[in-house]
Amino acid sequence: MAGGIAHDFNNLLTGLLGNLEIAKMRLNEGHPAYSFLENAISVFERASDLSRQLLVFTKEDEPAPEPIEITDFVMSVVKFNLSGSNVEVNFDIDRDLPLVIADKGYLAQILSNVVINAKQSMPHGGLLDVKVKNVTKARCTFCGDIDGKFVLISIKDDGYGIPAEVMEKIFEPYFTTKEKGTGLGLATTLHLLKKHGGHINIESVPKKGTTVSLFLPTDEGNSRTINTERILEDTSAGTGHILLMDDEKMVREVTAEMIKDLGFEVELACDGQEALDKYVKAYNSGQPFDAVILDLTIPGGMGGIETIEKILTVDKDAKVIVASGYAEGSIMSDYKQYGFKKRLTKPFKIADLKKAIFELLNQNSR
Instruction: For residue 50, name the pLDDT band (cuts at 50, 70, 90).
Output: low
**154/131 Cα distance (integer angstroms):** 5
What does pTM read for this prediction? Answer: 0.61
Q: How far is CA 109 from CA 73, 207, 360, in A?
A: 12, 26, 28
Q: How far is CA 53 from CA 113, 141, 188, 215, in A?
A: 11, 27, 8, 21
pLDDT at 269 over 80: yes
Measure CA 353 to chain center.
13
Summary mean pLDDT of the chain: 80
**83/150 Cα distance (integer angstroms):** 28
Q: Look at 47-56, 58-67, 234-243, 321-330 and tell me which has the smallest mean pLDDT.
A: 47-56
When pLDDT is averaged across residues 117-124 and rounded to a whole number, the result is: 88
When pLDDT is averaged across residues 306-310 and rounded to a whole number, the result is: 95
Is there a cis peptide before residue 347, judged by omega within 30 degrees of 0? Answer: yes
Higher pLDDT, 238 or 327: 238
Contacts of 250 by beta carbon, 8 Å cutoff, 6+ apart: 11, 12, 15
When pLDDT is averaged across residues 59-75 and rounded to a whole number, the result is: 76
The confidence score (pLDDT) of residue 49 equals: 60
Higher pLDDT, 244 or 204: 244
Q: Look at 146-150, 329-333, 336-340 and tell me which has the smallest mean pLDDT.
A: 329-333
Q: Look at 247-256, 314-323, 340-349 and tell me which has the smallest mean pLDDT.
A: 340-349
**363/344 Cα distance (integer angstroms):** 17
Give the CA diameter of the chain.
Answer: 73
The confidence score (pLDDT) of residue 223 equals: 40
pLDDT at 332 over 60: yes
When pLDDT is averaged across residues 36-63 and rounded to a whole number, the result is: 65
> Is the distance from CB of 252 to CB of 183 less than 8 angstroms?
no
The confidence score (pLDDT) of residue 52 equals: 60
Domains and CATH numbers, the chain: 70-217 (3.30.565.10), 228-362 (3.40.50.2300)
Task: Give the β-pairing of 265-269 and 100-102.
Answer: unpaired
The confidence score (pLDDT) of residue 11 equals: 78
Higher pLDDT, 258 or 224: 258
When pLDDT is averaged across residues 298-312 and rounded to a whole number, the result is: 91
> Is the distance from CB of 55 to CB of 64 less than 8 angstroms?
no
The confidence score (pLDDT) of residue 46 equals: 63
When pLDDT is averaged across residues 246-275 and rounded to a whole number, the result is: 93
When pLDDT is averaged across residues 165-179 and rounded to a whole number, the result is: 61
Task: Give the β-pairing of 209-217 and 199-205.
Answer: antiparallel
> Is the distance from CB of 325 to CB of 251 less than 8 angstroms?
no
Measure CA 135 to chain center.
25
When pLDDT is averaged across residues 232-245 and rounded to a whole number, the result is: 76
pLDDT at 361 over 70: yes
pLDDT at 340 over 70: yes
**200/189 Cα distance (integer angstroms):** 9
The confidence score (pLDDT) of residue 236 equals: 61
pLDDT at 90 over 90: yes
Neighbouring CB atoms inside 10 A of 9's CB total 19
